[in-house]
Structure 1
Amino acid sequence: MGENNIIEGRNAVIEAIKTGRNIESILINKGKTMGSINTVIKLAKEKKIVIKEVDKKKLEQLSETGKHQGVIAIVSSYKYCEPDEIIQYAKERDEKPFIVILDEIEDPHNFGAIIRTAEICGVHGIIIPKRRNVSVTSTVYKSSAGAVEHMKIAKVTNINSYIDDIKDKGIWVYGADMKGDKYCYEADLTGAVALVIGSEGKGLSRLTMEKCDVLVKIPMVGKITSLNASVAGGIMMYEVLKQKIIGDKR
């Protein structure tokens, strides 16, 4: 199957059904209707989604992750939003925009983990470049544990132009980088913020780094002085969430 056409795994499929994703059909392993597979069948019947029983070999042929757990949903392509919709969504919620910008993330597992953490931390949307960044694939769905269904994701042609645009709208842009001016907990992240997270190997590109208002680093004391992109992003997102919660209580 091509990119964006399948969702694998019980939890990811259940989440897709619940959120009203456009599902063409659901394939389940013939005769294996135990546990949460029954939940999939029940929800699919309620939404009048076609259920097809197939043998395990068929599921394995379609699977991109190798972890289908006996169920694969055939879906229409993931619908990206427009960049402006993210700021509009924050306004509708009467919240200061909280945006995550990814600078060339190539690992679908990292992307999925970032989406999952972003959803938990109250991020309004994620921006990715149209080129040199992993798209929303079935592996991303699986890694996000269904959080893709609750997260606005927009593609932009040029990240640096987008950063200029949101800075004009009063959003402060913080880049995560080991050469940061200050630690993440020293920065004031309570306002309208955008976090820029760099690629797994290269980090932030030089031009993007120069566009950021502030470069922030994560405290590290071990011998390995770098973090996986999704872990670094997670620490940064939780710092924003923490400051917003503390700020609201003051």
Structure 2
Amino acid sequence: MPFYKKQTNNYQPKKNIIAGRNPVAEALKAGDNIDKILLFKNATGEAINTIRHKANQLNIPVQYVPMEKLNGLTNIAHQGVIAFKSSVVYQDLQQIIDWINDKGETPLFLMLDGVTDVRNIGAIARSALCTGTHAIIIPDKGVGALNEDAVKSSAGALEQIQICRVNSLLKAVDELHLNGIKVFTSEMNAEKKLFELDFKDPCCIVMGGEENGVQSYISKAADAKFSIPMKGDFDSLNVSVAAGISLYEALKQRII
């Protein structure tokens, strides 16, 4: 099966794609910002092993896909390997915590659990930056790609706010707790209301996806759960709106 798609006059590869074994390996070696890597599920060879190993070292997600998926993304001879360049630089969570403490500021984090729409992520980043949120924590899987579309939706906020990508949200919660940072999850049925929580202390707000909400094991590990009070029969807010409301409550408490 060929490692490329026949070129057509109206087909153009995406600008954020790196295709081919050597180009992807060189990008990893050079330390380029890579969001994720797609590998043909049956691909083998020394270069493939090198890419897997380096991606694991750099905490870059690797997804194994059929050839049709790769062929649909580019007409370049991809050799069973495609990488997506990231528009943001990912940071280490502990280093960001240390950086905040060194500045003498009170940490305020936002964690996204299952938020996949890049427009929502962009809008959330704008609110986070405007409310003084220090960093956004995302998982390496199950979140929308922070690509050019996300940056555009964020009006550039994603390029200014710190982004921590972790391979386990639960481990990230543990790391936050070890550093004295409380974790609050936004849940529709929580009895405690948003304004009843104390956001003046070091804390992290967790927002779940609109369909499934915060995962149960994250909810169990949280220090408190809160709901956003609403009037009327409509019982759901867009996640970017809910995140903005929550972050502005934290900002209001810290300013007052």
TM-score interval w.r.t. the shorter chain?
Answer: 0.5 to 0.7
Q: What percentage of residue pairs aligned between the two structures are identical?
A: 37
Q: What are the Cα deviations for residues 155-193 of structure 1, in whole angstroms up to 9, with x where unaligned?
A: 111101110121121101000011223111011110101
Pick aligned residue for 1:119 from 109, 129, 132: 129
Residue number among 167, 183, 194 corresponding to 2:193 in the alignment: 183
How high is the TM-score relative to the length of structure 2? 0.66
User: Could you say which residue in structure 1 is the equivalent of 2:206?
Assistant: 196
Q: Does 1:149 align with 2:148?
A: no
* Stretches (4+) displaced over 4 A: 1-5
1:103/1:133 contact within 8 Å kept:
yes
Matches within 5 A, 1:65-214: 77-214=87-224
Q: CA deviation at 1:85?
A: 2.6
Specify the alignment match of 2:6 in structure 1.
none
Q: CA deviation at 1:222?
A: 2.0
For 2:163, give the aligned amino acid.
I
Shift in Å, 1:92: 3.1
Change in Cα spacing, 1:134 to 1:148, as seen in structure 2 (3 Å) is same
Question: Take 2:151 and 2:90, find their aligned partners in 1: how far apart are those partners?
Answer: 14
Contact kept in structure 2, 1:106 and 1:200, CA below 8 Å:
no
Check conservation: 2:86, 2:147, Cα contact below 8 A: no
* C-alpha displacement of 1:103: 0.3
Contact 1:97–1:124 (8 Å) recurs in 2:
yes
SS at structure 1 position matched to 2:164: strand
The question of whether the paired residues in 2 share the 8 Å contact of 1:3 and 1:137 is answered with: no
CA deviations over 1:14-41 (Å, ceiling 9, x no partner):
xxxxxxxx9xxxxxxxxxxxxxxxxxxx
Q: Distance in 1 between matches of 2:173 and 2:211?
A: 22
Judged with a 3 Å threshold, the aligned counterparts in structure 2 of structure 1 residues 85 and 2 are, in CA distance, closer, same or farther, namely farther
Kept after mapping to 2: 8 A contact 1:190/1:244? yes
Stretches of structure 1 lacking an aligned partner (at least 5 in a row): 6-21, 23-74
C-alpha contact 1:4 1:136 (8 A) present in aligned 2: no
Determine the C-alpha separation between the residues in 1 that align with 2:86 and 2:222: 36
Secondary structure of the residue aligned to 1:99 is strand
Q: Is 1:126–1:153's contact at 8 Å kept on the other side of the alignment?
A: yes
- Aligned length in residues: 178
Matches within 5 A, 1:4-15: 4=16
1:240 equivalent in structure 2: 250
Counterpart Cα distance in 2 of 1:127 and 1:82: 10
Distance 2:87 2:242 in 1: 29
Instruction: Give, in angstroms, the shift of residue 86 of structure 1.
Output: 2.1
* Partner-residue secondary structure (3-state), 1:100: strand
